[in-house]
Amino acid sequence: MKPAARSRLHLEIDLFRAGKSTGFIRVPHSVHRSAYGWLPIPVACINNGEGPRVLLMAGNHGDEWEGQVALGRLIRDLDPEQVRGRLIILPSANFPAAQAGTRTSPIDDGNLNRSFPGDPDGSVTQQIAYFLEHVLLPLCDYAFDFHSGGSSLMYVPGTLCRRDPDPAGMARLLGLMRAFGAPIGWIGSALQGQDRTLTAAARRQGVVCMGTELGGGGQVTPSVLALAEAGIRRVLAYVEAYTGPVPARADTRLLTLGGNDYYVYAPDGGVFEPLVELGDEVKRGQPAGRIHFHDTPWRAPTTASFARDGLVICKRVPGRTERGDCLFHLGTPYDG
């Protein structure tokens, strides 16, 4: 199939063919090892008559595995007869990063979720971003982007949406979050990256978008993977794209994520000692963590404190830390 727009990427499968199609998005990549080669981004499409058009993607960051594993299983298990409309499933959107097991691409150091709207003539990651925003998103009504904490962060499993100033749009986003049924769901008003994320690209293209932060730590856990798989089927059923069996859901605690005072950053380089756990309720001024000077161990560690009250929803994983690394972030009760 020949993509519209100016993308240099080639889509092997026909997004309008009935039933389940699998193949690759080919990213031209001429290098010493392979003069006429291409990079293979796995993609699947399931079409079954009229219905919503949904993009399901993971591996936007290559080291966030839960969504990648869940979408692979969805491709294998989903019966096209249980689908209404069209699902485009992209388990490892930044495939070079996923192959390397890293957040960013080893080819151009590209962070796909800071690369939108992309560039059809840019680096590999910029070309992938351009293809997503200008070829795939215009074919979709909904986009679900399954992130997790990756190598450096661990999350209380949750869904997230960017605040929509339109009340009807906001109600629709809250409906999606409640349908997914993660323990928490948070609404960001000042999300990092702002206009360069898949969420921003979706909004530019008029596509309703929900993300997740499912666990992390560079690993897959059975409980978080089970939540991901159940949540995906529940949210697909909610938008009437899936008619098969749906596992029961739990209630979602809705939270707000605001600006800088929600985050705690390392004040120095050293070894991070957390002083609170994920899921703790904390107070303004409460010590969050210590940074130990293992190069000068007789020096007293520095302490980083929370700048406001809140619920700890994200925590740094690795011990070794540099000044400016995110140690924690908070959520506060959703204010409507």
- Binding positions for Ca ion, rule: CB under 5 A: 61, 147
Minimum CB separation of residue 218 from Ca ion in Å reads 12
Residue 23, Cβ density class (10 Å: 0-12 exposed, 13-18 middle, ≥19 buried): middle
Minimum CB separation of residue 207 from Ca ion in Å reads 19
Closest to Ca ion by CB, 147 vs 196, is: 147
Minimum CB separation of residue 163 from Ca ion in Å reads 19
Minimum CB separation of residue 61 from Ca ion in Å reads 4
Minimum CB separation of residue 98 from Ca ion in Å reads 12
Q: How far is CA 103 from CA 165, 227, 336, in A?
A: 31, 22, 33
Place of tokens 């661990």: 154
Q: Starting from the edge strand earliest in sequence, which strands make up the sheet with 302-305, in order?
A: 302-305, 287-292, 270-274, 320-321
Q: How far is CA 167 from CA 127, 163, 164, 171, 262, in A?
A: 34, 10, 7, 6, 25
d(CA 301, CA 319): 14
Minimum CB separation of residue 277 from Ca ion in Å reads 21
**Closest residue to Ca ion: CB criterion:** 147
